[in-house]
Amino acid sequence: MKLIGWVAGLVLAGAATTASAEVVATSATGFQLRSVAVLEEAQAHEAWTGLSRWGEWWSSDHTYSGDAAHLTLSMEAGGCLCEVWPGGRIEHGRVLLSWPAQGMLRLNAPFGPLQAQPVTAILTYTIQARDEGGVEVIQTLAVGGGDETTAALAEGVDFVMSQGLARYERFVETGAAD
């Protein structure tokens, strides 16, 4: 993702996170993040389909090409969350588990500055029906295996991922992420 976008996320991390986002834990070699989106009008299949349309809701500010339309996500095991543009290609993540009937998508996804570190970054989305109607989408990111600089990235990565989930929520509910 563009270094400037990630640096901005690191700088703004403490100022603009959603109430449902949190850094759950940090250690010398990693961190865990958790964010929740409540989609009051959506059904599970709509939430699932929204995840597959990554390039329509992710922020262009957090891409290498500067245009989120270059992002695609293949929702099967081994599928790629990739960004392809004239002159460049990057794999942001690889699908480990795609289980629509259980509402679970899991990727190994070392985004942005994490790609330059010796880490595993497991990103999981869980879609659960709510008694009140709609669905709850839980986004977790567990990063481990890094060095002493890894934990310092937690708040910035949390900001970017929480912003992404908020855009996803707006996209599923309204058809537009902005």
Distances in Å between the Cα of 131 and the Cα atoms of 17, 37, 173 are 27, 15, 18
Q: Is the pTM of this model over 0.75?
A: yes
Spatial contact of 91 and 115, defined as CB atoms under 8 Å apart: no
**What is the per-residue pLDDT for 1?**
43
**What is the per-residue pLDDT for 37?**
96
Residue 71, both tokens? 């992002």
Q: Tens digits of per-residue pLDDT, 62-79?
A: 999 999 999 999 999 999
Q: In what order do the strands lie in the sheet with 21-27?
A: 21-27, 30-39, 135-144, 120-129, 104-108, 88-99, 80-85, 71-73
Q: Where do we find the tokens 């293949």?
A: 74
Q: Provide the residue-wise pLDDT of the chain in tens; the chain has 178 residues.
A: 444 344 344 434 433 333 468 999 999 899 999 999 999 999 999 999 999 999 999 999 999 999 999 999 999 999 999 999 999 999 999 999 999 999 999 999 999 999 999 999 999 999 999 999 999 999 999 999 998 889 999 999 999 999 999 999 999 999 999 9
Q: Where do we find the tokens 């958790």?
A: 34
